[in-house]
Every structure is written in C-alpha cells, then in structure tokens.
Amino acid sequence: GNSVTQMEGPVTLSEEAFLTINCTYTATGYPSLFWYVQYPGEGLQLLLKATKADDKGSNKGFEATYRKETTSFHLEKGSVQVSDSAVYFCALSHNAGNMLTFGGGTRLMVKP
C-alpha cells in the first residue's frame, strides 16, 4: 500500500537558518505529492504540490522537488522565520478518489 515517511521532529532552528525536512514515499504508479502546514490552533493548509517527476513546487520561500528515482519530496527553505514555526506534513495522492496519505508530521520550531 501507499505510505509516507518523514523525519521525526522537533526540528529546532535559529531564525535565518536553512531548513530541510526529509520525506520519502512508497506508492504504485505516479502519485501527486504535497506538503501541508498546520499552524498552532489552525487547520491544515496546502503549502505546495508537485504532480509529476522532476516538478518543483514552491510557495512562501519553501520548495520541494519530486524525485522519482529516490522516491523523495524533501522540503527546503533558505532562511526560516519565527512565523514558520508549525507542523509540516508530507502527503501523496493518486488520481483515483484523490485520497491523501499523510506522513506523521514534523514539528519545526524557529527561535529568534
């Protein structure tokens, strides 16, 4: 079956540090890949997505590249801010039904 594995948190960084959150997946065929963010007390928000191999999704300074050869979709940001503190979820879906399979989430804490 489909599964998503993320690095465990929490990840603690100082403001302006470089961020990488690793995500790998197991799936048949060619899934679409997503990063969702959950700020404290809020619902999940779509951060970025990629629908085919070598696509790069980007939003708010975050980016991730769909790597089929390594089945990965790592999230990166060059310079994090305190406001980026949240839980980040990697997810995949297949066209059939568009059901999302999520990873366990990675908590990011950015200190001033």
Partner 1 sequence: EAGVAQSPRYKIIEKRQSVAFWCNPISGHATLYWYQQILGQGPKLLIQFQNNGVVDDSQLPKDRFSAERLKGVDSTLKIQPAKLEDSAVYLCASSLVQEGGYTFGSGTRLTVV
Going by C-alpha positions, the residue among 14, 7, 9 that lies closest to residue 108 is 9
Write out the two tokens for 8.
């465990």
Whichever of 45 and 79 has its CB closer to partner 1, that residue is 45
DSSP-assigned letter for residue 72: B
Whichever of 17 and 87 has its CB closer to partner 1, that residue is 87
In whole angstroms, the minimum distance from the beta carbon of 104 to partner 1 comes to 5
Q: In what order do the strands lie in the sheet with 56-59?
A: 19-21, 75-77, 62-65, 56-59
Whichever of 17 and 94 has its CB closer to partner 1, that residue is 94
Positions touching partner 1 (CB under 8 A) are: 4, 36, 41-46, 49, 89, 91, 95, 97-105
